[in-house]
Structure 1
Amino acid sequence: MSKRKWMVGAGIHNKRHKPVAIIGGSRLSPEEQSITDTWSAIEYIRTIFPSKERAGRFPPIIFKQQLYALVKNRTDVDREVNTLAESFRIKVFHLGRGDDEVMILITEDFTSFVKKYHGVSNNSTDSNSKYIASPSKDTVISRFLSQVVSTESDISISESVLMKKYGFKDKDLTALVNYGLITLRDAGTWWFSVPAAGQFMKIFLKGKQAALRMIRMTRFKELHLTELKRRKVPPSMKLGILYHAYDLAGSDSIKCIESTSGTLLRIIND
């Protein structure tokens, strides 16, 4: 393909497409028709998380802004995410970049990933005992998952609760930090965290920038979804174009527009 054709994109040519409607949902995939609420949106994003990355490296991670792209009312998303967290169907984790920036995991996915990542047996003994003289790695992690994760719905927890309510000692907290399960929020408070989250965010941010570049380099900084899907995905986009497209749409980095020839992705305020 010539440089000019690559820059312009198939179906766009020399004049800008006139959108016929700005849509509320993203309409990036036909499967979106089955989404009726925040939970079904979470399950859908989980299905498009690449299986290669799920093979022990990372759990299927969902970002709240991806849900905004799928569910029309953002207030409903916020409320339903809180309800799902309080019922322990999901676990919400702070990203450390902004107060509203969080990642979401289905609770079963989180616990399964932690056990697999750290090689913890499902038959670890004494996981329900609060006070153990010399806890093993398996025991500390199993206690944390069975006692804390299953009963604490907030995104952070105080040191006093961990020690007084659950019987963890200083050395246990140090171990949990080393295992990537908690990280310091401020004096006396810990964020819940996901092992290998830092590695995942590096991959995610590189892929996000690659997706933005693909759209930004077109003549009018817009590109049809079908054309975007046809293009060779850069090596840095390990999570797939759809995964990043929902993030970009939900975070208002791109606008999804229904044109006469399909869904058009347009850079916003660039």
Structure 2
Amino acid sequence: MNKRKISDYYGFKKRPYGITHNYLESETNNCDIGSTLQELKKTFKQNDKNPPIIFVHQFYSFIKCRTTVDKQINALQACGKVRLFKLGIDECSLALVVTDDLIEFLNKSYSSNHSIKKFIKVIIPEVRDVCVEKALLKEKFKLTDRDISEFINAGLLTVKSELSYWFSIPSVGEFVKTFIKGRKAVMRTIRKCKYSEILITELEKRSLEKSITQSMQYHIHDVIGAELAKCVDTTSGTVLRFVKMPSTNKKK
């Protein structure tokens, strides 16, 4: 994967005027993905509708080497510490939820739902991928069509194909809707500024409309990690600059 120079502005002390940022040495194996996860979780506005949801690309706003991030997150997924989800933001985006946070959220929000209790007990400890085959659910776990339908109705599974399902998070649709709205609002703010760029310290002070549920910091991590904006160090501080996507229209 390509290595990209992305500012690790968030989660660290703001630099004095004229002093260069200290970037994480992400090319080494000493990058602490756990600490980065905790910093990102601090930017997530807690609510009773969703567990803390972090996108994998948001880690890239801290860490320059995507390969390092991906390897460490995959290791956390393999040992069951975190779960990954495809939430339909775009083709490549993966969302991450700490497994303990997910279980706590499900137990608290759906304490009387027997389907969710079964899912926590049977599925979460055994299946750690982003999707699951229907045959596995039936053959290994002895689940019936009714069990699977109850998981779908509870928002724990969504249909991938006739023979497989994506794992999902209950009531995540509203989160996705407001997340996209927040991303667009931040990008619109940057584009409207002179030269389509703004100091991060200035952007942090801007308010998002009330219907956008997540913090400005959360969305700044998103646009940096998704390469919709890039950080540029200047003598006045770190500037966030709009990235113009290349045109796909071919000249005739």
Alignment TM-score, normalising by the size of structure 2: 0.84
| 1:111 maps to which of 80, 103, 107 | 103
After TM superposition, list the pairs within 5 Å mapping 1:16-31 onto structure 2.
Answer: 24-30=6-12
Structure 2: runs of 5+ lacking an equivalent: 15-21, 25-30, 246-252
More displaced stretch, 93-102 vs 222-231: 93-102
Please say if 1:256 is aligned against 2:231.
yes
Structure 1: runs of 5+ lacking an equivalent: 1-21, 121-136
- TM-superposed CA distance for 1:38, in Å, is 2.2
- TM-superposed CA distance for 1:31, in Å, is 5.8
Please say if 1:171 is aligned against 2:135.
no
* Structure 1 segments (4+ residues) deviating >4 Å: 31-35
Please give the secondary structure, in 1, of the residue aligned with 2:238. Answer: strand
Please give the secondary structure, in 1, of the residue aligned with 2:60. Answer: helix
- Show the counterpart of 1:188: 163
- TM-superposed CA distance for 1:141, in Å, is 1.6
Please say if 1:156 is aligned against 2:144.
no
Please say if 1:44 is aligned against 2:39.
yes
Higher RCO (CA < 8 A, seq sep 6+):
1
Amino acid at match of 2:150: A
Amino acid at match of 1:268: V
- TM-superposed CA distance for 1:23, in Å, is 5.3
The share of aligned pairs that are identical, in percent, is: 29
Please give the secondary structure, in 2, of the residue aligned with 1:30. Answer: coil
Amino acid at match of 1:241: M
- TM-superposed CA distance for 1:71, in Å, is 1.4
Amino acid at match of 1:70: F
23 and 186 in structure 1: CA distance in 2 versus 1, 3 angstrom threshold: closer
Is the CA contact 1:38–1:71 (under 8 Å) kept in the aligned structure 2? no
Please give the secondary structure, in 2, of the residue aligned with 1:69. Answer: coil
196 and 87 in structure 1: CA distance in 2 versus 1, 3 angstrom threshold: same
Q: Matched residue pairs, number?
A: 229
After TM superposition, list the pairs within 5 Å mapping 1:12-161 onto structure 2.
Answer: 24-30=6-12, 36-51=31-46, 54=47, 56-120=48-112, 137-138=113-114, 140-161=115-136
- Show the counterpart of 2:250: none
| 2:189 maps to which of 202, 211, 214 | 214
Task: Give the distance between the partners of 2:181 and 2:119, measured in 1 at CA.
Answer: 32
